[in-house]
Each structure stands twice: as structure tokens, then as C-alpha cells.
Amino acid sequence: MKLDGAVAVVTGGASGLGEATVRAFIAKGARCAIMDRPNSPGEKLAAELGSNVIFTPADVTNAEQISRALQQTATTFGGVHINVNCAGVGAAMKTAGKAGPMPIEMFEMVVKINLIGTFNVIRLAATEMLKNTPDEDGERGVIINTASVAAFDGQIGQAAYSASKGGVVGMTLPIARDLSRDGIRCLTIAPGTFDTPMLAMLPEPQRQALAAQIPFPSRLGEPREYAALATHIVENAYLNGETIRLDGAIRMPPR
């Protein structure tokens, strides 16, 4: 699918991987809706990037809010062709330990946002994509999800996070198969350790220690590299149903 003239909805688009993706897409001629929390920098970012970007505040777990945001996007830009799902949360706690068992509410919250929230957006965005006229390759849309290397190499304290991201990986192929007859592709990117706002809060020695674990290049991933892969996925029509690790060959140790 050509990005020039396409319309993309990016969840978590106000910062980090999502923001980098919005910037990369508009540089290629796309129009973008930043879908993020109402208190995020989404409105400010949209104003900075100009008339090809709008801010559509929404909670990914709220079907009504997502439907309203997608409708706003379709009305403003004439449709929805691409959905990139970057919204997510992290939480770290052992299954059981000196502090007792992990609160089930913590597990539920992480799964609800990272897994159920992602599927909620997918199912509603895909419904909008079904309205599109197929392009010369027969495509109506492209969906890109964000998992994590934790889906495969979950560390101590990551049971909830790994389960949520493993679920995203697990649903990628069946969703691609579900939507194949309609010309909609679905893929997932599984980033390693990236320099995002979450990691920016860590002390510099801890950031350097994380970077040292990465075989090559021995540094934190840059959001622009995620955006570059997302761009390639959109433009390469033969990619479908796959999860792609983007991690500098890291395999996470137990802790």
C-alpha cells in the first residue's frame, strides 16, 4: 500500500514509538489521526504537525470512544487505511513473593489495555477498512500491532506483561487469515529495549546497562527505527501474518 494519500490511525501516537510512526508516515504523504489519552500531548503534537494530522482522544478499551474517533478520522480524511497499535502499559511484580500474590487486578489491567485494547481497536478499524475500494494490489488496509520481546523472553516479574504481549503475537496470524479475503493485512512488531519515555525515567547507569545487553548494535533502539519498519510493512504488500522482532539480536535474561 502506498503511504502517499493513505489515512492512518496510530494509537499511543502522542509519544514514543507512536509519535515516531506518525512523523514518518506524514513525511511520506499520509494523513494521520493520533489516538491517545485525553491528557496526552496529542493535541499539541497535531497542531505542530499541521493539517494532515488530527488528535482523536480515546481509551483503547472503550468501544464507544474508539468508534467515535474512527468516525471522526473517516469524516475528516475520507477513510481509514492503516491502523498502528502502539498504546500499552507495563507492570512488574512477581507472581507470588514476600509481598504476597500479585493482585489479580494488576494482571487484568495489563491484559485489558495491551491485549483486549489492541483487539478492540483492530476489530473497529478493520470494519472501517472494509468500506475502502481495493487498490491496484487488491488491498483495503494494513494493521500493525506492537508486541515485545517479552512475549518470547519474559523476565522475572513480567508474567502479566508477557501474557498480554504473547496474546498480541498469538492473534496476529488468525486475524490476518480472518481479513485476507477482504484485502486487509495484519502484522506485529516485537521491539526489544527501546529509548522511549518509559525508559527515559531510568538513571543513566541503568540505561547503559540495558544497552550493554544488546549484541549489536549495543545501544537502545530508537523510535525512528520502529517507524522505519512500520513504513516498510505498509509498503511491502507480501508481508502478512508475521511477527517481526526488532531487537538487535537480544534474548532477555531471567532478570
CA angle 236, 241, 243 (to 5 degrees): 90
C-alpha cell at 110: 495489563
Residues 137 and 82: beta-carbon distance below 8 Å: no
Rounded alpha-carbon distances, angstroms, from residue 164 to 106, 107, 115, 180: 12, 9, 5, 24
CA dihedral 172, 176, 178, 181 (to 10 degrees): 180
Match 502499559 to its residue by C-alpha cell: 89
Cβ neighbours of 246 (radius 10 Å): 18
Residues with catalytic function: 161
Q: Can you tell me the distance from the alpha carbon of 70 to that of 104, in angstroms, rounded to the nearest whole number?
A: 32
